[in-house]
Each structure stands twice: as C-alpha cells, then as structure tokens.
Structure 1
Amino acid sequence: MREFDYRRAHDVAGAVALLGADPDARFLGGGTNLVDLMKTGVERPGRLVDVTDLPLDRIERTADGTLRIGATVTNSDLAVHPEIRHRFPALTQAVLAGASGQLRNMATVGGNLLQRTRCAYFTDVTSACNKRDPGSGCPAIHGEHRNHAILGASEHCVAVHPSDMGVALAAFDARVTYETADGTGELPLADFYLPVGDTPHQETALPPGALITGVTLPPAPVAAHSRYRKVRERASYAFAIGSVAAALDVRDGVVHDVRLAFGAVASRPWRAHAAEAALTGGPATADAFAAAADAELAAAAPLPDNAYKVTLIRNLVVAVLSELAEEATR
C-alpha cells in the first residue's frame, strides 16, 4: 500500500478545504470499499480526510415530511430508524440485504453511493479496464460477464453498480446534497450517476472536491407499501445478480401509483420509467406486471452469458408487484 497522509476533519468546511489542498486526497467514511481498493492498488490516495466526526450522522424529518439523512449515518442505523422502517420499508430491506452486519455497522450512506464496481477486471490492476485506466479496453465484454450489465452499457464498459441501498433510493426520487468550496449543491439521484458512454471512469456528476453531506427523501405515500427483493448466488453475504425495489398503490383493482427500480443490471441504479408508465392507470394483474416489465426490458442488450438477467428481472417484477397487489386487498 502506498504511504499516505491522514487528517481528521471536524467541520464540513474544514473537510472540503483539506481535500481541496491535495488533488490526490480522498474522503474516508467507513472505509469498507475505499480501503479494500487501496490494498489492491486500484485507489492510491496521497491523503485520507476522515469525515466520521462531522455532524452528519442524524436522520431528521422536516415540516413538509421530507427526510434528511446525513452522509455519515451508518447503514445499520439507517435500516432500523423508525421513519425509514414505517415510511420506506423497501429501503430498510435493501440496506439489510447488503453486506454483513459488521460491514453495515461501519459503512456510511455517502460512502455507499460512491462505492465502486466489483467487476473483477476493475479490481485486478494487472487487467485492462476503461473505468480504472481509460482507453485500455473492456475485457469483460469478451470475457467473464455473467454478472454484468444488460441496460445502459456501452462498448467501453459493462460493469454494474453494486449498491442495494441506491436501488431503493432511486425508486423514491432521492436527492443528494453536497458541499464544495463554492457552496452547497444538490443533485437528483437520477442525475447523480453519469451514463457510461465513452467515459466510464467518470462515474458521478459531483463537482471536483465535493463532499456528500446527505440524502433527502421527499414524502411518498406509496413508499409505505413497498418491498425490495434481491437475488444472489448464495444466501449469505453476496452482491446481487438482480434486484427490484417496488412500491404499489392499488385502488379498486387499478394501479394508482407505482415505483420501480432495478439493481445489478446497469452502471447505476436503474429507475424503470417505461414500466411505471405502462402500469399507471391500468389493472393490477400479473399479465399487466409482465407486460410492463417487458416494456422496460425491451432496451436490454445482454451479452452471451448474462441474458438470464432479462428473465430474472421480469420474474422479480411480476412476483413482487403481485405480492404487493394481493396485500392491498386484505
């Protein structure tokens, strides 16, 4: 591991200033992803700015019902918070489906959003990888890609984003707040992650030197009736090979409101707008759910070894929405 400087920040402005003073610096939260990447040589920061002492570890409700989640809130604390459990159960389920209990105790909300792909070519510094070494190629396309993207990929990168939490946040129109030397900013999560295109190494729309300070969740009554379902290759701690965050409001057999997002299918949490549009105002039936999934997955471009994900996601959508629709009639 490369030698590095270590500083502990005690206020947001000081953290931003410390990072701005060193172009090779990185913010350190729980370190559950960054430290691993440092050990393998993928990340080689000259300075770590520890932000765990910043006053960003609270979840607060505003007068209009918006939830403000601080960037250093741990995944464990997020999952058990009463407001999250009751108003956004799919978010609680997504967080609990991710990693192990020990890692959730360390991992932070801000760090979760910024975690990097687990593609084996990315994490192996002896391999080519456009995300790690722009212009070197994407060996996954003709190599091992069973768990890679079927939506939104390009000839330059087919890696997927590993976050479970991010999938639920995408379904509920979360926004990311941040601080820079020039002041405060905010990005919808839908715009936070950049399309892969020909620059897969540029992963987010955060300005240079920005510190994520929190995530906001606007009121969403439909979210109270939501679920997160994750499929993985083993039942214990593992990343998804496909997941769905769904919320459904059914009235007299008709879909009044619906939210859908997919995980492990793209370089970012994938909001299923086409499926939502196909469902809204229509019948809450298994056939309608399948047709909506097909509408979203029509854009899929699977590789030879990951075409199974199209069927997997379709079946997940039908199963989860059918369960939610049945519960609405009880």
Structure 2
Amino acid sequence: MREFGYERVFDVAGAVTLIGTDPDARFLGGGTNLIDLMKAGVERPALLIDVRELPLDGIEFALDGALRVGASVTNSDLAAHPEVRCHYPALAQAVLAGASGQLRNMATVGGNLLQRTRCGYFTDLTKPCNRRIPGSGCPAITGEHHNHAILGASEHCVATHPSDMAVALAAFDAVVSYETADGTGELPIAELYPPVGDTPHIEAALPPGALITGVTLPPSPVAAHSRYRKVRERASYAFAIGSIAAALDVQDDAVRDVRLAFGAVASRPWRARAAERALLGGPVGAEAFAAAADAELAAAEALPENGYKVTLMRNLVVAVLTELAEEAAR
C-alpha cells in the first residue's frame, strides 16, 4: 500500500471542495470495500477524505410518505430501524443478508451503493480486467465465471454487482441524492449504474467529485408486503449467487401491484420489468409466476458454467411470490 493523505471533514460543502483539489482523492465511509481494494493495490488514492462525521445519518419519513435515508447511516442502523422494517421489510432483510454484523456496523448506505465488483480477476493485479484497465480484456468469459452475469453483460465484462441493499432499492424505485461543487442533483437508482456495454470501467453515472448524500424511497404501499431472498454457497456471510427483492399486492385473486428486482445476475441490480408486466392484472399462482420469470429470463445469455442461474432465479421468483400470495390470502 502506498502512502496516502487523510482528511476528516464535517460539512458536505467542505467535502466536495476538498475532493476537487485532487483527482486521486477518494471519499472514505466505513471503508469495508475501499480499504480491501487499497490493500490489494486495485485502488491507490493519494488522499482519503473521511466523511463519517457529516450530518447525513438520519432516517425519516417526509410529509408525502417518502422515506429518506442519509448516506452515512450504517447498514446496522438501517436494518434495525422500526419504520424500515415495517414499511420496507425487503430492504431490512437485504441489509441483514449483505454482510457480517461487524461489517454492517461500519458500512454506510452511500458506500454500499458504490462498492465494486468482487470478481476475482478484478482484484488480481496479475490478470487483465477491463474494469481495472480498459481494453485489457475479460478473462472471466473463458475462465472462472460460475458466479458471473447472465443478464445485461457484454463481451467486455461479465462481472456482477455485489450489493444486496441496492437490489431492494431498485425494486422500490429509490432516488439517489448527491452534491458536487456545482450544486445538488438526483439520479434514479435505475440510472445510477450504466449498462456495462464497452465501458465497464464506468461503474456509476455520478458527476466527477460527487458525494452521495442520501437515498429517497418514494411512497409505495406494496413495499410493506415485500421480501428479500438470497441464495449463497454457504450459510455464513457470503456474496449472493442469486437473489430477489419482491413485493406483491393481491386483490380478488389478481395481481394489483408487483415489484421484482434480481441480484447477482448482472453488472447492476436488475429490475425485472418484463416479469412485472407479465404479472400485473393477472392471476396469482405458481404457473403465472413461472411464466413471468420465463418472460424475464428469456434474455439471459449464460456462460458454460453459470447456466444454473437461470433455473435458480426462476425458482426464486416462484417461491417468493407464492409465499407473498399466501400471506395476502390470510
């Protein structure tokens, strides 16, 4: 690890001004991803700007019913908040599924959204990687790729996005707020992560020097009837091989509203809009749920060793929606 500077800031304006003075500076929240990447030599910042003391640690409902979460809220505090657990249970479940207790105590909402892929080729400096060195290639396509993308990938990158939290936020149309030296801005989470295309090194659509200040979830009655399910290769803390955030509102045995987002299948949280369209207004039941999953997964392009994810995600859709439908019928 090379030497680096360290500055702690206490106001947002000071943070965005300071990062503008050094193109090699990075914001430091909990550091649960950034420090690991520094140790591996993937990230080599000249300056760390500690933003943990910024006044961005609130969780509150606005008058219009929207939920506002500050960027420096820890994952533990978010998952434990009674209003989050009541109105957005899938979000609380996703956070609890995302890491060990020690990591959740340190990790922040803003940092979670910007964590980088856990692809082994990305973190191995002896291997090429288009995310790390644009144009160097993607060895995962012909190498180890059993946990890589089946949706939205390209010949330039087949890595997956690691966040559980972001999957739930995608299901509920969250909006990310940020601030730069030029002022404030917002991005729907669907636009925060650009398609991988031929520029996999561009992992977020934020302007240069932007600091995430918070996340807003718009009012969503269906979110109260939601669930997050994660499949991993071991029972203890591990990244997903497939996950789903689902919400379902049923009236007169028909789907009145539904939200679906997949994790660990693409370079970004994957909003399953084709499946949602197939379900909306139709009947509930395993057959309808499976047909909706098939509509979404028709676009899947599996590699030789990750085709199992198609079946896995289909089964997850059917299982989780069936559970939600049964709860609605009680």
Scaled by the length of structure 1, the TM-score of the pair is 1.00
Gaps of 5+ in 2: none
* Residue 309 of structure 2 is aligned to residue 309 of structure 1: yes
Residue in structure 2 matched with residue 60 of structure 1 by the alignment: 60
Deviation at 1:252, TM superposition (A): 1.1
Residue in structure 1 matched with residue 49 of structure 2 by the alignment: 49
C-alpha separation between the residues in 2 aligned to 1:300 and 1:246? 19
Deviation at 1:263, TM superposition (A): 0.2
- Map of 1:82-101 to 2, 5 A cutoff? 82-101=82-101
Deviation digits for residues 127-182 of structure 1 (CA, Å, limit 9, x no counterpart): 10000010000000000000000000000000000000000000000000000000
* Residue 218 of structure 2 is aligned to residue 212 of structure 1: no
C-alpha separation between the residues in 2 aligned to 1:58 and 1:301? 41
C-alpha separation between the residues in 1 aligned to 2:205 and 2:119? 21
Residue in structure 1 matched with residue 241 of structure 2 by the alignment: 241
C-alpha separation between the residues in 1 aligned to 2:125 and 2:7? 27
Residue in structure 2 matched with residue 178 of structure 1 by the alignment: 178
C-alpha separation between the residues in 2 aligned to 1:310 and 1:252? 31
Deviation at 1:82, TM superposition (A): 1.1
Deviation digits for residues 248-273 of structure 1 (CA, Å, limit 9, x no counterpart): 00011100000000000000000000
C-alpha separation between the residues in 1 aligned to 2:34 and 2:126? 19
Residue in structure 2 matched with residue 202 of structure 1 by the alignment: 202
Which portions of structure 1, spanning 4 or more consecutive aligned residues, are displaced by more than 3 angstroms?
A: none
SS at match of 1:256: strand
SS at match of 1:7: strand
SS at match of 1:110: helix
Deviation at 1:296, TM superposition (A): 0.3
Deviation at 1:196, TM superposition (A): 0.3
- Map of 1:103-122 to 2, 5 A cutoff? 103-122=103-122
Deviation digits for residues 204-238 of structure 1 (CA, Å, limit 9, x no counterpart): 11000000000000110000000000000000000
Residue in structure 1 matched with residue 140 of structure 2 by the alignment: 140
Deviation at 1:61, TM superposition (A): 1.0
Deviation at 1:22, TM superposition (A): 0.3
SS at match of 2:201: coil
Gaps of 5+ in 1: none
Identity across the alignment (%): 81
Deviation at 1:90, TM superposition (A): 0.3
SS at match of 2:215: strand
Deviation at 1:242, TM superposition (A): 0.1
Deviation at 1:83, TM superposition (A): 1.1
Residue in structure 2 matched with residue 36 of structure 1 by the alignment: 36
C-alpha separation between the residues in 1 aligned to 2:311 and 2:71? 35
Deviation digits for residues 28-53 of structure 1 (CA, Å, limit 9, x no counterpart): 00000000000000000000000000
SS at match of 1:52: coil
SS at match of 2:327: helix
C-alpha separation between the residues in 1 aligned to 2:142 and 2:199? 19
Deviation digits for residues 299-321 of structure 1 (CA, Å, limit 9, x no counterpart): 00000000000000000000000
Q: What is the number of equivalent residue pairs in this alignment?
A: 330
SS at match of 2:228: strand
| 1:55 partner amino acid | P
C-alpha separation between the residues in 2 aligned to 1:184 and 1:323? 41
C-alpha separation between the residues in 2 aligned to 1:88 and 1:165? 12
C-alpha separation between the residues in 1 aligned to 2:60 and 2:322? 33
Residue in structure 2 matched with residue 153 of structure 1 by the alignment: 153
